[in-house]
């Protein structure tokens, strides 16, 4: 779930981004690099650094933010969901983890909308250093796959902002490379999300767009079907079995649990009892996870928040496509656990909204 903000700019056009002083750029890049390297360590430290830094950046812009009624309703949905998580059952550490995960996208979108393109100079350099150093192919029964698909997808989202309109050659080049990395990961939902994101870049009023787009899509599709066979497979990787099991648990649960959920962390606790947990890892459906852990009440806040957010940013097709791509990944993956990806997409959507408002 996410919310947007409407920035008030003073002494400068909305299309420009207030440049960060060099010391802040250095600190920001250092914090982002540290948070990325802490991912491998697990736990919450990486996300605390990431969310804390951008929350502080947003707080520093407090005087430039106004909250119109539509955004206020979205914020109330977010607060309602967080209260359901906080007041529900489950360990405190699991509640804090889920709350932090939920906050990534709203904070990112607010920062992007208020601060603008200056955010790219903090987030992108860290990713451009980290991804080449941490990326590697690993062998599966379906062939070689490149790791880090969602970090590459986050980088693609940031690049899509630079590619919009008259994007720079460097931004377009990085976007193409990140897109290739996503294809090489053979992660089907990541590839679909990339296509949804890329749709926001198309100028649909031009015949050239349709003709060239069709040729490129067909060419890439034919090549991918031959070189990347996993992308054309239709198996569910065992997800349906677990979804059915959890659906049965929810249906048979007492009405209190159906309305208020089983509590933060309940999904992983239950999954740990399955023999194939080590291979499957998690539920791979964040929308269902929200329903299971926060109940009908929490899921209602979740769904209404998404609807309000999409409606509020409808003036920017790119912003809508970026956030729809996030919602899509949540259907078959554990996107809420990917804090850096969510932050990147939030920043990109906010920047796209800000830019389209300034140009429109």
SS (H, E, C) 112-165: HHHHCHHHHHHHHHHHHHHHHHHCCEEEECCEEEECCHHHHHHHHHHHHHHHCC
Question: What share of the chain has pLDDT > 90, as a percent?
Answer: 65
C-alpha closest to that of 279 among 330, 319, 237: 237
pLDDT of residue 202: 84
Question: What confidence tens digit (pLDDT) does each residue in 264-308 have?
Answer: 999 988 888 776 655 566 789 999 999 999 999 999 999 999 999
Distance between CA atoms of 125 and 120, rounded to whole angstroms? 8
Q: Do the beta carbons of residue 142 and residue 230 sit within 8 Å?
A: yes
The 3-state DSSP class for residue 308 equals helix
Least confident of 213-222, 245-254, 282-291: 213-222
Distance between CA atoms of 344 and 137, rounded to whole angstroms? 23
Cβ–Cβ contacts within 10 Å for residue 30, how many? 13
The 3-state DSSP class for residue 52 equals helix
In this model, does residue 12 exceed pLDDT 70?
no
Distance between CA atoms of 50 and 48, rounded to whole angstroms? 6
pLDDT of residue 212: 62
What tokens were used for 219? 């060419």
CA-CA-CA-CA torsion sign (62, 104, 191, 246): negative
Q: Rounded to 10 degrees, what is the CA torsion of 121, 124, 128, 129?
A: 60
What pTM value is reported for the model? Answer: 0.89
C-alpha closest to that of 110 among 166, 54, 156, 179: 54
Q: Assign residue 186 a region (left: φ > 0; alpha: ψ between -120 and 50; beta: otherwise).
A: left
Where is pLDDT greater, at 330 or 164? Answer: 330
Least confident of 31-40, 208-217, 243-252: 208-217
What angle, 0 to 180 degrees and rounded to 10, lies between the N-to-C axes of helices 339-359 and 120-134? 140
Least confident of 37-41, 56-60, 214-218, 277-281: 277-281
How would you label 339-348 residue by residue, b for 16+ Cβ within 10 Å and e otherwise?
bbbbbbbbbb
pLDDT of residue 69: 79
pLDDT of residue 169: 84
In this model, does residue 340 exceed pLDDT 80?
yes
Question: What confidence tens digit (pLDDT) does each residue in 55-92 have?
Answer: 999 998 877 777 777 788 999 999 999 999 999 999 99
The DSSP 8-state label assigned to residue 44 in this structure reads S
Q: How confident is the model at residue 210 (pLDDT cuts 50, 70, 90)?
A: low
Q: Do the beta carbons of residue 18 and residue 64 sit within 8 Å?
A: no
**Residue for token pair 């890329």:** 198
Which residues face 7 on adjacent strands? 65
Distance between CA atoms of 210 and 19, rounded to whole angstroms? 37
Distance between CA atoms of 312 and 64, rounded to whole angstroms? 19
Question: What confidence tens digit (pLDDT) does each residue in 95-143 have?
Answer: 999 999 999 999 999 999 999 999 999 999 999 999 999 999 988 776 7
Residue 307's contacts (CB-CB under 8 Å, 6 or more residues apart) are none
Q: Do the beta carbons of residue 322 and residue 197 sit within 8 Å?
A: yes
The 3-state DSSP class for residue 6 equals strand
In this model, does residue 324 exceed pLDDT 80?
yes
pLDDT of residue 236: 55
pLDDT of residue 164: 78
pLDDT of residue 215: 64
Average pLDDT, the chain: 86
- Element housing 7 (H / E): strand 6-7
What tokens were used for 65? 């933010």
């Amino acid at each position: 779930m996410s919310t947007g903000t409407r920035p008030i700019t003073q002494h400068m056009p909305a299309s420009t981004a207030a440049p960060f002083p060099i010391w802040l750029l250095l600190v920001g890049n250092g914090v982002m690099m540290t948070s990325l390297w802490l991912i491998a360590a697990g736990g919450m430290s990486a996300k605390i650094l990431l969310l804390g830094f951008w929350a502080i950046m947003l707080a520093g812009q407090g005087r430039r933010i106004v909250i119109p009624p539509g955004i206020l309703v979205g914020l109330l949905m977010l607060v309602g969901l967080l209260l359901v998580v906080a007041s529900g059952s489950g360990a405190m550490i699991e509640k804090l983890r889920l709350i932090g995960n939920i906050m990534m996208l709203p904070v990112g979108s607010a920062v992007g909308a208020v601060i603008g393109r200056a955010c790219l100079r903090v987030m992108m350099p860290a990713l451009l250093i980290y991804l080449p150093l941490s990326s590697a192919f690993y062998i599966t029964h379906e062939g070689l796959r490149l790791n880090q698909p969602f970090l590459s997808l986050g980088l693609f989202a940031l690049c899509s902002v630079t590619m919009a309109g008259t994007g720079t050659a460097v931004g377009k080049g990085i976007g193409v490379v990140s897109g290739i990395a996503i294809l090489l990961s053979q992660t089907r939902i990541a590839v679909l999300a990339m296509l949804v994101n890329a749709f926001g870049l198309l100028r649909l009023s031009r015949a050239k767009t349709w003709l060239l787009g069709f040729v490129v899509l067909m060419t890439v599709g034919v090549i991918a079907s031959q070189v990347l066979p996993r992308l054309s497979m239709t198996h569910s990787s065992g997800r349906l079995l677990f979804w059915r099991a959890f659906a049965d648990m929810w249906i048979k649960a007492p009405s209190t649990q159906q309305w208020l959920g089983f509590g933060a962390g309940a999904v992983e606790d239950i999954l740990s009892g399955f023999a194939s947990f080590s291979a499957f890892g998690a539920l791979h459906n964040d929308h269902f996870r929200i329903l299971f852990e926060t109940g009908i009440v929490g899921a209602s806040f979740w769904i209404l928040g998404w609807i309000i957010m999409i409606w509020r940013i409808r003036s920017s097709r790119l912003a809508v496509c970026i956030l729809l791509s996030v919602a899509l990944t949540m259907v078959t993956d554990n996107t809420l656990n990917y804090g850096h990806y969510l932050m990147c997409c939030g920043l990109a959507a906010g920047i796209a909204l800000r830019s389209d408002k300034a140009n429109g």
